[in-house]
Structure 1
Amino acid sequence: MPFQHPEEIGYGYVIERYVTRKDSGRARYFDLKSGRILRPGWPHTERFTRHLIDDAATITDAELEALLGYEWRSRLTAGWLIGVGRRATFRKRIGDLLLASEFCFSGGAYCFALARFGTHADAEILTAYLDRYLPRTDLRYDQPAALGALLRLDAHLGTHHADRFTQPNGLWDGWVQALAHLQDSPEYIPAERHRWTDLQCGFAHGWTQP
């Protein structure tokens, strides 16, 4: 499907309303991508989060589709809104986008949403993604976010999908070792990826109904 600016399908307002709105002085997509929302003591947490939750509850499916059909900023924002609102009807759509990996950055939001949905179907999508992209040691896409989400789902579901990726000298180790700048970074330890996904989901869970 070709990328479309939302204006082309009658939804030109969604970028300003959902993606570039400034509840913190910076655009929403920037705050979501940077992880500032998870920092203790961030002064804009309550205002930012209340507006994010309100939007996640009221955005229409058509508006979400308009965002998902455009570029990475809008897709990233849509992924977060889908995850916060647990809009599981979008599971296949964001799963397809994750596996296609057409843009950088937005895939982490899809992984967050799948972690929020919390089912075996979501674990299967993440497993398929890692099967496809961990062997690609020349590429840095959303492998860390996908592993963190899968580890969280394994812990929640009592499954072991991630075990074959994280075993010593397995696909995860091979991917990290192939990228020299990652080798000594604690950020790429599987437990840290799991912790980061827990932080994201804990943030959403703490402000929304279970």
Structure 2
Amino acid sequence: MRNHLHEPALKAVVERYVTPGRRYLRLINTPFLSDPAARQWFGRALAEDSLHITDDELALLLSYEWRAQLTASWLVAFARREAHRERIGELLLANERVYAGRGFCFALARFGTEEDARLLADYLHAFLPRTDRGEQDSAMGALSYLDTRLGTEYSARFLGETGPWAHWLHARFPSDRADVPVSLDQSRDLIRTQCSYADHCMEALPPTH
């Protein structure tokens, strides 16, 4: 198992972008989105880092464990570093890291093209039948968000009362539960909020000369 403490280049990029302030923990459940005091400073730091980090450094983080991958995907998303689309799509479909998939879905939604919608649809086709682990709700929210923006219908194949999304919800959250903690509207709204937040943070940066 890799350990960044034993790889100088990886150690430097992890300590620069991932671990300060335990940034990766904030990116799991995004508490800063509902905290006015944190929204500005946290987003400013993400925006600046998304422009400062190199493609080689992003590739290093994406090759490592979930904390690094989650952080890298947010930095990729903020600055729309589309050179990493293919790698992010591969990692999402591999489904090897818990939590990192949330960032991958956000990045694809932020890129905002039909190619990204197809990558999300490929993931859902493979993983909606499974309930062991994955980020199906994030992917479904991102795909629905892209359909709304693009005027496409990639999510339609998964919807309906007897569709794969409904089966996944029923399997993941038994019908005797009074509270189902996820819905398509909630998942789509979270992705929309994240993308709007990224837009605002990037636009707020001072112009470069």
Is this a same-fold pair by TM over 0.5?
yes
Q: 2:91 aligns with which of 92, 97, 105?
A: 97
**Counterpart for residue 135 of structure 2:** 142
Q: Secondary structure at the match of 1:193?
A: helix
1:185–1:125 CA distance, 2 compared to 1 (3 A): farther
Structure 1 spans left out of the alignment, 5+ residues: none
Superposed, 1:124-139 pairs within 5 Å as 124-136=118-130, 138-139=131-132
Asked whether 1:176 is paired with 2:176, we answer no
| Unaligned 5+ runs, structure 2 | 205-209
1:12 is aligned to 2:11: yes
| 1:61 aligned partner | 55
Farther off after superposition, 95-104 or 164-173:
164-173
Q: Deviations over 1:76-95 (max 9, x none)?
A: 00000000110011000000
Question: Residue 39 of structure 1 corresponds to which residue in structure 2?
Answer: 34
Q: Percent identity?
A: 40
Query: In 2 relative to 1, CA 181–93 (structure 1 residues): closer, same or farther, beyond 3 Å?
Result: same
TM-score by length of structure 1 reads 0.90
Q: 1:9 to 1:120 in 2, by over 3 A?
A: farther
What amino acid does structure 1 have at the position aligned with 2:106? F
Q: Partners in 1 of 2:25 and 2:162 — Cα distance?
A: 35
Task: Give me the whole-angstrom Cα distance separating, in 1, the residues matched to 2:94 and 2:173.
Answer: 25
Deviation of 1:192 after TM superposition, in Å, equals 1.4
Q: Could you tell me how far apart the structure 1 residues matched to 2:55 and 2:70 are? A: 16
Shift of 1:139: 1.8
Whether contact under 8 Å (1:186, 1:192) holds in the other structure is no
What is the CA distance between 1:40 and its match in structure 2?
4.1
Pick the structure with more helix per residue.
2
TM-score by length of 2: 0.90
User: Which residue does 1:165 correspond to in 2?
Assistant: 158
Query: Cα offset for 1:166?
Result: 1.6
Distance 1:123 1:68, change over 3 A: same
Give the whole-Å Cα distance in 2 for the aligned partners of 1:142 and 1:30.
17
Number of equivalences? 203
Residues 178, 186 of structure 1: alpha-carbon distance in 2 compared, 3 angstrom cutoff:
closer
Offset from partner CA, 1:131-174 (integer Å, 9 cap, x none): 000011x3231100000100010001100111121211100010
1:5-31 superposed Cα distances (whole Å, 9 cap, x missing partner): 375362321111101112xxxx11111
Answering whether residue 113 of structure 2 is matched by residue 114 of structure 1, we say no
> For 1:83-138, what per-residue CA distance to the aligned partner results, in whole angstroms no more than 9, with x for missing partners?
011001100000000000111000000000000000000000000000000011x3
Q: Would you say the 8 A contact 1:6–1:70 is kept in 2?
A: no
The 1:6–1:109 alpha-carbon spacing in structure 2 relative to 1, beyond 3 Å, is: farther
